[in-house]
Structure 1
Amino acid sequence: MKKVLSMMMVLLLFVGMLAGCTSNTAPTETKEPEALKMGLVVSTLNNPFFVTLKDGAEAKAKEIGAELIVLDSQNDPAKELANVEDLVTKKVAAILINPTDSDAVGSAIKLANEAKIPVITLDRGANAGEVVTHIASDNVAGGKMAGKFIVDKLGGSGKAVELEGIAGTSAARDRGQGFNEAVNGTGIEVVAKQTADFDRTKGLSVMENILQAQPEINAVFAHNDEMALGALKAIEASGREIMVVGFDATDDAVKAVEEGKLAATVAQQPDKIGSLGVEMADKVLKGESVDSFVPVDLKLVTK
């Protein structure tokens, strides 16, 4: 009997040891790491250029496995500030912003600075707040490119109109600067200069008024393709022959160039601007250094 009891105790001890080993080697449940979360604040998604910029950013975010929250400011600085507040609340790791206005965006950037969230500006710069890098085309060089094209096509003399973008944006300021540097000292006279807010409908109405006021116009330089296409429509309706040069190389503009309606457009690469924004943000978050300005190449598109 004692022998039987001893054997049972040994058996129980052995079973217990097996159970202990099993519990020690059982796989533990692991959590999937959270995706890196970034925010992209776009001045307006009512412009094909910025839609392409957004697409480039989203493609790069998908490639690196990051989550990208895209918010539309609808060309309203107040909405822009609210969008950044929303991203700060969501605790994104980085904010990419395409400013509605280079001055007004300062408040939104400072808000992100206070939350220790790195900020990258795209296409348009900021005049206040701390930005780790700015990614854009050289807009001054692009304006010069357009101005030189007009000077060459007109043989160095003629009357030109400049349709300006949203006042206060770095893109409007720089493109205008480059254009005027190119035509100054030549026989080209800028007979009218008026803002149309980068908008096609406003480009149409502003150009209609200029056509009524100016009996002689040989060329129009618009700070973006949307205004250029609006101006082109007004010119076609008037029956006058006027050369129009745009900026951005949107699909509609390139098609108009191919059809011989638009003389030229300065090509940016908005998809690359958006893609580089996400790429630079990823580098910053990994502790890598980035340049304060990352330029994106330009070229002139003609028929």
Structure 2
Amino acid sequence: MKKVLVLFSLLLLVSVFALGATYRIGLSLSTLNNPFFVTLRDGALDMAGKLGVEVIVADAQDNPAKQLSDIEDFIQQRLDLIIINPTDSDAIVTAVEEANDAGIPVITVDRASNGGKVVCHIASDNVAGGRMAGEFVAKLLGGKGKVVELEGIVGTSAARDRGKGFEEAIAKYPGIKLVAKQTANFNRAEGLIVMENILQAHPDIDAVFAQNDEMALGAIEAIKAAGLLGKIYVVGFDAIDDAVEAVKKGEMAATIAQQPYKMGELAVLKAFEYLTTGSIYIPVDLKLVVNE
């Protein structure tokens, strides 16, 4: 599959250079204060370099108002396409609709928009990832125990979908009780504070599912400070470097791996493809059927 995508992109590159065309693409990220989105940006910029297109990056700093302003600036610059990683799936709708009105195509990445026209959405299956985390926690606990969920930014599709998958999974185990669910906004410092407060009310919990690794790492610091390291399982989401290291050290039980670099690469590749051909090509694996 990777060879097919590379070959396809090279063919597109040859055709565009033959026409003498260049594209300017806006990349609006929810935050660059999270290693996950830094890696996503790097993948996007590296693919842009391979394709000979310009990608202009804007950091919304987890502020929906700033993200709207950034995208309006992209629209004023008459960029060819805008890739958006929304801070909030509802709040971003206005920005998407403004781009639609200006005739600028939009691609969303990692988090979806709850409105407006988007030509392509690139993301992991967050429901499946949440479900994977829930099943793993249930296995660790033998189907019985008290668990806590640290929620991401309320209103984002990632938070909604990861929570849905996790809660669906643990709901199959009557012996598992979700005793607390609080938002820490995908932020490590907030994860620490929220976890400290939860431990005051529920010092006897058995496991924590954090909807991203930044919150999970903050939770681990609170657990350490309470002298409970090794007594509470922590599962994160994203597999950022610090989380993988925490898993290796035995501080974190697991993290659900995504591929942010590939997301960034794919977002720019699909943007380039759409601008070049007016369509999005999504290959589906073939299957050989034979008489057994």
Structure-1 residue corresponding to 2:87 = 100
Scaled by the length of structure 1, the TM-score of the pair is 0.85
Structure-2 residue corresponding to 1:258 = 248
The answer on whether the counterparts of 1:134 and 1:292 sit within 8 Å (CA) in structure 2 is no
- Alpha-carbon distance between aligned partners in 2 of 1:292 and 1:136, rounded to the nearest angstrom: 14
Structure-2 residue corresponding to 1:25 = none
- Alpha-carbon distance between aligned partners in 2 of 1:242 and 1:193, rounded to the nearest angstrom: 16
2:123 aligned with 1:136, yes or no?
A: yes
- Alpha-carbon distance between aligned partners in 2 of 1:34 and 1:123, rounded to the nearest angstrom: 28
Residue deviations 1:19-78, cap 9 Å, x none? xxxxxxxxxxxxx94631111000000111000000000000000000000001111111
CA RMSD of aligned residues (A): 1.6
Aligned pair partner of 1:75 in 59, 62, 68:
62
- Cα deviation for residue 216 of structure 1 reads 1.3
- Alpha-carbon distance between aligned partners in 2 of 1:41 and 1:82, rounded to the nearest angstrom: 10
Residue deviations 1:156-181, cap 9 Å, x none? 11000000000000000000000001
- Cα deviation for residue 293 of structure 1 reads 12
- Alpha-carbon distance between aligned partners in 2 of 1:87 and 1:201, rounded to the nearest angstrom: 31
Structure-2 residue corresponding to 1:163 = 150
2:269 aligned with 1:279, yes or no?
A: yes
SS at match of 1:137: coil
- Alpha-carbon distance between aligned partners in 2 of 1:69 and 1:148, rounded to the nearest angstrom: 40
Mapping of residues 1-303 of structure 1, within 5 Å = 33=20, 35-186=22-173, 187-240=175-228, 241-290=231-280
The answer on whether the counterparts of 1:95 and 1:118 sit within 8 Å (CA) in structure 2 is yes
The one-letter code of the counterpart of 2:74 is L
The answer on whether the counterparts of 1:134 and 1:293 sit within 8 Å (CA) in structure 2 is no
The answer on whether the counterparts of 1:94 and 1:119 sit within 8 Å (CA) in structure 2 is yes
The one-letter code of the counterpart of 1:75 is D
Question: When the two structures are aligned, how many residues end up with a matched partner?
Answer: 263
Relative to structure 1, the CA distance from residue 287 to residue 269 in structure 2 (aligned partners, 3 Å threshold; closer, same or farther) is same
The one-letter code of the counterpart of 2:264 is G
Relative to structure 1, the CA distance from residue 293 to residue 80 in structure 2 (aligned partners, 3 Å threshold; closer, same or farther) is farther
Identity rate of aligned residues, in percent? 60
Residue deviations 1:196-250, cap 9 Å, x none? 0000000000000000001310000000000000000000110112000000000
- Alpha-carbon distance between aligned partners in 2 of 1:269 and 1:288, rounded to the nearest angstrom: 26
- Cα deviation for residue 91 of structure 1 reads 1.3
Unaligned runs of 5+ in 2: 1-18, 285-292
Relative to structure 1, the CA distance from residue 172 to residue 291 in structure 2 (aligned partners, 3 Å threshold; closer, same or farther) is farther
- Cα deviation for residue 90 of structure 1 reads 1.2
Unaligned runs of 5+ in 1: 1-31, 295-303
Residue deviations 1:70-117, cap 9 Å, x none? 001111111111111111111111100000000000000011101111
- Alpha-carbon distance between aligned partners in 2 of 1:265 and 1:231, rounded to the nearest angstrom: 14
- Alpha-carbon distance between aligned partners in 2 of 1:47 and 1:136, rounded to the nearest angstrom: 17
- Cα deviation for residue 292 of structure 1 reads 8.7
- Alpha-carbon distance between aligned partners in 2 of 1:245 and 1:215, rounded to the nearest angstrom: 18
SS at match of 2:56: strand
The one-letter code of the counterpart of 1:84 is I
- Greater C-alpha Rg: 1
- Alpha-carbon distance between aligned partners in 2 of 1:288 and 1:252, rounded to the nearest angstrom: 40
SS at match of 2:93: helix
